[in-house]
Amino acid sequence: MSVPQPVSRRQVDPDPSITSAIGRHHSLATAVADLVDNSIDAGARNVLIRFITRGGYAEGLEVIDDGKGMDTPAIDEAMTYARKRAYEDAALGHFGIGLKAASLSQAESLVVWSRRYGAPAVGRRILRSTIDGGPVVESYSADDSEARIRAAGVEFPLDTGTIVEWRDVRTFLRSSSILDQTVWLEKAVESILTHLGLVLHRILAKRVVVVTIEVSDEFGSGIPRVVAPLNPFGYDRSGAAGLPFDLIALLPAGEATARAHVWPTEARSRSGFVLAADGPLDTQGLYVYRNDRLLQAGGWCELAMRSPELSYARLELNIGPAVDGHITINPEKTGVVLDSTLKDALLAARSVDGRTFGDFLRAAEGRSQESRKRTARPVTIVEPRGGLPPDVLAAFESAVDFNLDEESVEIRWITLPPGEFFRIDRESRRLSLNLRYRHAVVGRRSLDPSDAPLVKALVFILLNDHFAGTIRGPREKRREAAWQTILVAAAQAQADDPPSVNGGTDDRH
């Protein structure tokens, strides 16, 4: 069968509006991290992240560094969307769009001031409103740029360096409550401290740069908080005999080494294991570095299935010349994709003494099983099945014993009469929640079968004994009716009280 051939050819230029989609998946913390990467690439010894507040309300953000700074050609290149910048091999920057994409994913206005040795100060601005039609870059005079740098108000010399300003930040909390603003700001600072401490932990541990965060208002600045390294491999003693060990993967361009780790169970309360609010199902897996900057913290990239049995397993991989052509980094520098060649090479990798990737997984599974045997569990309940995120199911498994005489119970949403919040079906082993109240419970429309984990877990614990045994007497029925009355009233009250701006329905917060 003949294959048709094209009859014409033309080049199609990209629509300028595509630039507004770049960096859309940034969070506040990942966007700030992109700016700090640029500061480190510029040779900064000091980087200050400053939240600007007025009257208790967060208004803007600055990232100030004492790096080499930029002159006119350099700042014009930095503010350009149209081409990929050239980076040195050791640079943390990768795509050449981080400054603009990260900043305008958060703010309506990006302003950059900079001064390089021997060159006049420069200033540039991009408004987010211009980027869909082709970004418009505005310039400030040398005098205004010099005055802005002199007024930076930092504790370190700023003979050279750069100030990045975010104005009209869309992702800051909009609540009019000063208390809400205070709580949000503290959480935002903690989130950035944790994220930077993790992704830059190797660089921070070398003490070549000091990164601090402060909150400033019309009366001055608060005490700066130093970003401390958060090492995901910061245990004192391995959790399995003979680990860590190096797996050597053979690739077309050479060898790549992945170091296999198993955390000790007694150290799981350390910050390096917990990694903020992430559970062990999220933090197990692959940790990928490029030039000592962490690009992915957890997840197996299809090398294995995430499982409670692998909670203590972590694999450390550095992107080098052999790996570089087989891995793709996402624009936010928060994840990677491995091609099939690299996956196959890692799965077939061996240590110098013949141990394999499978041996690593089995060692981690053995540590997990041993941990469960050693942990005292004073509570025995019927096992939950489905309707909850994997981390919550793993938490049940690690915290309680399951009643082996009873089948597990599924948790799901179905439509019930208005007077019922839940329904217990002992024969089908199902705990159903009333679909009528789902929006009130979740705070938004949802099709996620694992949504509302807090409410589901609490209701499941409350009603667990109703699924145990074979007798359901008057006492159990009276208790069930009481819980129905209370929970229906609570759900109706929640439905009548629309969530506030900071009530958790806005993904920006």
pLDDT in tens, 330-350: 988 989 999 999 999 999 999
pLDDT band with cut points at 50, 70 and 90 for residue 61:
very high
Residue 180: φ, ψ to 5°: -60, -40
**Tokens of residue 378, six digits:** 């004073």
pTM, rounded to two decimals: 0.73
Instruction: Give the max Cα distance, the chain.
Output: 88
82-111, pLDDT tens digit by residue?
555 555 656 665 445 779 989 999 999 999
Lowest mean pLDDT among 74-78, 296-300, 316-320, 386-390: 386-390
| pLDDT per residue as tens digits for the range 273-289 | 877 655 666 789 999 99
Give the pLDDT mean for 164-177: 93
| Interaxial angle between packed helices 474-496 and 453-463, expressed in degrees from 0 to 180 and rounded to the nearest 10 | 160
pLDDT of residue 500: 47
The dihedral built from the CA positions of residue 279, 282, 286 and 292, taken in this order, carries a sign that is negative
Contact by Cβ (8 Å): 410, 431: yes
Q: How far apart are the first and last CA of the chain?
A: 58
49 contacts 62 by C-beta, under 8 angstroms: yes
Q: Can you give the pLDDT at residue 501?
A: 40
Percent of the chain with pLDDT over 90: 59
Long-range contacts of residues 378-386, Cβ cutoff 8 Å, at least 24 apart: 381/461, 381/464, 382/406, 382/407, 382/408, 382/409, 382/464, 382/467, 382/468, 383/408, 383/409, 384/408, 384/409, 384/411, 384/457, 384/460, 385/409, 385/410, 385/411, 385/429, 386/410, 386/411, 386/412, 386/449
Q: Beta partners for 482?
A: none
Domain-by-domain residue ranges, the chain? 20-226, 245-372, 380-496
pLDDT value at 417 more than 70: yes
Give the per-residue pLDDT at 488: 94
Spatial contact of 327 and 319, defined as CB atoms under 8 Å apart: yes
Neighbour tally for 504: CB within 10 Å: 12
Take residue 124 and report the two structure tokens written for it.
């540039």
Q: How many helices (H) and strands (E) does the chain have?
A: 15, 22
> Are β-strands 122-127 and 285-290 bridged in parallel, bridged antiparallel, or unpaired?
unpaired
Rounded-to-integer distance, Cα 333 and Cα 33, Å: 9
The CATH number of domain 20-226, selected from 3.60.40.10, 3.40.190.80, 3.30.565.10, 3.30.1280.10? 3.30.565.10
Secondary structure in 3-state letters for 149-180: HHCCCCCCCCCCEEEEEEEEECCCCCCCCHHH
User: Rounded distance, CA 394 to CA 388, Å?
Assistant: 10
**pLDDT of 507:** 39
**CA dist., res. 37 & res. 98, Å (int):** 9
What single string gives the DSSP state of each residue in 225-251?
A: EEPPP--TT--SS-SSTT-SEEEEEEE
Tens digits of residue pLDDT in 291-315: 999 999 999 999 999 887 898 999 9
Residues paired with residue 327 on neighbouring β-strands, in sequence order: 338
Q: Helix (H, G, I), strand (E, B), or coil: what is residue 298? A: coil
| Residue 397, pLDDT above cutoff 90 | no
pLDDT beyond 60 at 3: yes
Q: Is the peptide bond before 390 cis (omega within 30 degrees of 0)?
A: no
Residue type, 93: G
Query: Can you read off the two tokens belonging to residue 358?
Result: 């499978």
Averaged pLDDT for residues 182-199:
91
CA distance readout (Å), 276 to 18, 31, 116, 230, 279? 33, 18, 38, 10, 9
pLDDT at 506 over 50: no
What is the overall mean pLDDT for the chain? 87
pLDDT of residue 390: 74
